[in-house]
Amino acid sequence: MRAQGVKKGDAKLKSHLELLHTATIGFIPASAGFRLTYASMIALWPGLWEYGEKLVVGLGMAGLIDDLCLEGERDSVLWREIIESFILLDKSKFEDRRRDVFESSGREALSFTHDADAFFRSFENRVRACLGDAETS
């Protein structure tokens, strides 16, 4: 879904719709899909912003969710898994070991340490399992 009316830098809801923040949001039907009516920030995930690799993993997780999940679907098990994974990522510490490069569903190659790569792949497998995707490995 696209949040109409929050594009301006001084928009009232902008601070509640930043990347990798969790918010309660409300929508109403509009001519071009849905219009955002309210947003209330729940979590900032400050640990994601402290270490560049955690931020890249978080963005990869958000991209995976966007790729795999259908707009407007309600799935409490899936969303619980997503929130718990972001809480875990926020608190995680990745060791600086040799980096691997991998590609995920047509995205540009991302370079992760072994720990970060294992975290992302585990998240991807859990999300796919929640969605009933047989491609989990």
Residues 33-48: tens digit of each pLDDT? 788 788 887 877 888 8
For 57-110, how does the pLDDT look when each residue is reduced to its tens digit (9 = 90+)? 999 999 998 888 877 677 888 889 999 999 999 998 876 554 444 544 444 455
Geometric angle at alpha carbon 44, from 107 and 66, rounded to 5°? 30
The residue with tokens 């926020």 is 90
Tell me: do 67 and 106 sit in the same domain.
Answer: yes
Helix intervals (H) in 25-75? 52-68
- Rounded to whole angstroms, the Cα distance separating 48 from 56 reads 9
Task: Indicate whether 79 and 109 sit together in one domain.
Answer: yes
Question: Can you give the C-alpha Rg of the chain in angstroms?
Answer: 16
The mean pLDDT of the chain is: 76
Q: Is the predicted pLDDT of residue 6 greater than 70, yes or no? A: no
Between 136 and 129, where is the model more confident?
129
- Show the domain range for 4: 1-43
Stronger pLDDT, 114 or 91, i.e. the higher one: 91
Q: 23 with 61, same domain? A: no
Total structural domains within the chain: 2
Residues forming a β-bridge with 112: 100
Assess whether 7 and 73 both reside in one domain: no
My answer on whether 10 and 55 are in the same domain is no
Angle 81-96-92 from CA coordinates, rounded to 5°: 25
- pLDDT, residue 126, reads 94
pTM above the 0.85 mark? Answer: no
56: in domain: yes
